[in-house]
Structures are given as structure tokens and as C-alpha cells.
Amino acid sequence: MLAMRDRVAGRPLALGGMLALASAIGIGRFVYTPLLPAMAEGLGLTGGQAGLIASANFCGYLAGALLAAARLPGSRRAWLLGALALGAATTGTMGVASGLPAFLLLRGIGGAASAFVLVFASALVLDRLAAAGRGGLAALHFAGVGAGIAVSAGLVALPGLGWRELWSASGLVSLAAAGAVAWLVPGQERAARPVAAQPAGDGRWLAWWAVAYGLFGFGYVVTATFLVAIVRAEAALRAVEPFVWLVVGLAAVPSVALWGWGGRRFGLARSFAAACVVEAAGVAASVLWPGAAGALVAAALLGGTFMGLTALGLAGGRALSAGDPRRTFAALTAAFGIGQIVGPVLAGLLHDRTGSFGLPSLLAAAALLAAGAMALRVPLRGEAGPRKPMVQCGNSCSDAGKA
């Protein structure tokens, strides 16, 4: 019995979650970044059009997050596997599509699929790991995004392939990963563990936390979308272009474990705020620090924080929710999605007006600093040591601060 429990809820399950996020997000969502310069050159895309394609993916992401919060028939595993297959299909089809409307449609559907994967994989895998006392393996689950980014960087570096062939190859790799998920994540659903009653102030603080999470979504996405394009625009940086996106992925792989340790040691809110500051430095470095060193530092700081922030954000939401965390995850994903939608379009339009990603990148860094400041005001259950809220809103907030 114990052997079966370990098999179902141990490393194979976490590995399945890792492959799910690698397929739908690491590759499905983020392969657009290293492919964008070649697409833009081949199709003559403006900055605004490139940003619009990115935002179409994030609009789909938002729609998927909202739909994932609804009561849906069937099992969570079925929805997870269906979303993985759909995401792989839309990624591969980008290689044969023509015209802006087709790209917008495919990226929109793919974005919805990636939101479903994040919500259902996180709820399914994290619940089972927690029930088996293997919560520490959550870092392996979230490492999938960094692993997928690293794989996408390797795919794009393949010689002799155009951007269309690379989209198709990315879809095939995503589909193969989805097949592995079907084998590693079993079908048995575990009953939800009983959770203590929700404190009175949690709904208000959850909204506050969601706004901070949305600002993080806006803050990271400009660099996450246009970093390779920023590097390609500088002739002196062409030598490091193949490595920049790889550095992002490799830095992202251990980031969840690192920031997770910080969350346990110093508290989720403090660690979230610290990661926002570090990421803001990386976003600013992408445009303020000229040369290869600045580009690589920006890549390392972005990769080393954005998935850690994602995991800390979801963990904070879980601490503010009761029962099945799926709706909380969906609400946070929706807030994140709004930030992601605004970011690329605004950055593309400002680039077309100014000829540079400098202004939108600095706005993104400011948003990250604001997100960190907001997170510090949220009292989370389970934090080491009581922290009183910094705003006064009556007895309910005081009670939440003591929780």
C-alpha cells in the first residue's frame, strides 16, 4: 500500500507535472520569444503586430483561466490531457499558418490550453503531493517551465531550419511530452483533504494578492517576449543571441526550489517581494546595461525569478483559500493574464513610436516593484512569525494578520 502511494504521489507524479508545464508553457507559450526575430524578418512584422500576436496568446490564457474556474464535467486529468494535446496541435500548426488572423487564432487557442494545463496540473499534482506528504517535490513540477524554455532554445538553435519548420518541430516535441504525462499522471482522483474554515479577511486579501500577481504578469512579460529581439537589434550582441534564451531556461529550472526555500525561511510574501526586486533589476538591465554582460545578466535574473514568483504567487493564493484551490488558482491566473495582455501590446506600440524597448521595459520594472510592495502588505496563514497588516480595515484584517 505504501509502495503504491509513493509511486502515485512521488517523483513520477512530479515528473509528470514537470513535463506538462514544459509542453504547454515552456515550449507552447515561450517558444514564440526565440522564434519572433526570424518570424518578424520573414513576414515583415511591426513591433505592434508582434506584440499583438503575443497578446493574443495571453488573451486566450485569460479566457482559459476563467473557464477553468467553472464547474466542468469529467475529471481533472481528462481536462489536463485534452489541453496538452490541443496546445501541442496549435503550436505545430503555427508552422503552416499564413496571415495575421490565423496566427492570432492559433496563439489564442494555445493560450487557453496553457492556462488549463497550469490550473489543472497544479491543482491535481500539488494536491496529490500534499496528500502523500511529498510537498517538497512541487519544485520539480514547476521546474518544467524552465526545462521547456531550455528545450525551446535548443530547438531554435538547430541548423538549417526556418521558423516554420521550428514551429512544427516544437509542436511534435510538445505532443511527445503530453504522451509521457498520460503515463506518469494516473487516473485515480484523491478526495480533497479537509481544510480549516477560511478566516473572514481572506477574500479581501486574496484580491489584493491577485492585483500584485497581475502586476507581476505585466512586469515580466515585456522582457520575456522581446528579450531575444532586443539582443538581435544590437549588432554587437549577435554572438550571444543563441545563448540568451538558453540562459533564461537554465536559470528557471532551479528557481522554484530556491525561492521555495526562501518562502519557507522568510515567508511567502517577503520572498515574493524580494523576487520582484531581483526581476525588476533584470528587466532594467536588459535596456540599461549595454553589451553582452548586460544581456546575459538580464536573462539570468529573468529566468531565475519568474517561475519562482509564479510558484510563490500560487502558494500564497493557496494559503488564502479554503478547500479545492482550483478556483483560487484560476483567479490568480486571470489577474496574471490581464497583465500579460497589456504588456506586449503596449511595449510593441511604444517601440514603434520610440524605436526602442527602453521605455516599456522601465515601466515593467516599475510594475514589478509595485507588485513587491503590495505583496508585503498581505498577511498569509502559515507565515513564520505573526505579521500585522500595514493597512487598517477593522477587526477582520486584524484577525487575518494574526492567522
pLDDT at position 62: 85
Q: Is the pLDDT of residue 395 over 80?
A: no
Distance from the Cα of residue 109 to its chain's centroid? 17
Phi/psi-derived region of residue 394, left when phi > 0, alpha when psi is between -120 and 50, beta in every other case: left
Q: Is the pLDDT of residue 154 over 60?
A: yes
Mean pLDDT of 195-213: 69
pLDDT at position 390: 31
- Sort 25 into a burial class: Cβ within 10 Å, 0-12 / 13-18 / 19+: buried
Q: Is the pLDDT of residue 3 over 70?
A: no
pLDDT digits (tens, 9 = 90+) for 54-84: 889 989 988 887 887 777 887 888 999 999 9
pLDDT at position 25: 93
CA distances from 225 to 50, 119, 320 (A): 9, 22, 30
Lowest mean pLDDT among 10-14, 25-29, 344-348, 349-353: 10-14
Distance CA 394, CA 221 (A): 36
Mean pLDDT estimate for the chain? 83
pTM over cut 0.95: no
- What are the backbone angles phi and psi of residue 199, rounded to the nearest 5°? -60, 155
Q: Is the pLDDT of residue 403 over 70?
A: no
pLDDT at position 402: 29
pLDDT at position 383: 57
Distance CA 145, CA 23 (A): 8
- CA torsion, ordered 110, 314, 330, 189, to nearest 10 deg: 90
Q: Is the pLDDT of residue 8 over 50?
A: no
- What are the backbone angles phi and psi of residue 188, rounded to the nearest 5°? -70, 125
- What are the backbone angles phi and psi of residue 95, rounded to the nearest 5°? -75, -15
Confidence of residue 158 (pLDDT cuts 50, 70, 90): confident
Q: Is the pLDDT of residue 98 over 60?
A: yes
Determine how many CB atoms are found less than 10 A away from the CB of residue 10. 17
pLDDT digits (tens, 9 = 90+) for 100-129: 999 999 999 999 999 899 888 887 887 788
Q: Is the pLDDT of residue 133 over 90?
A: no
Q: Is the pLDDT of residue 351 over 60?
A: yes
pLDDT at position 202: 57
Lowest mean pLDDT among 18-22, 89-93, 317-321: 317-321
Task: Specify the 3-state DSSP secondary structure of 95.
Answer: coil
Mean pLDDT of 369-373: 96
pLDDT at position 391: 32
Distance CA 173, CA 37 (A): 21
Distance CA 155, CA 209 (A): 36
Mean pLDDT of 241-246: 87
CB-side neighbour CA atoms (13 Å) of 313 = 33
pLDDT digits (tens, 9 = 90+) for 280-300: 999 999 999 888 899 999 999
pLDDT at position 122: 80
Is 248 in contact with 145 (CB distance < 8 Å)?
Answer: no
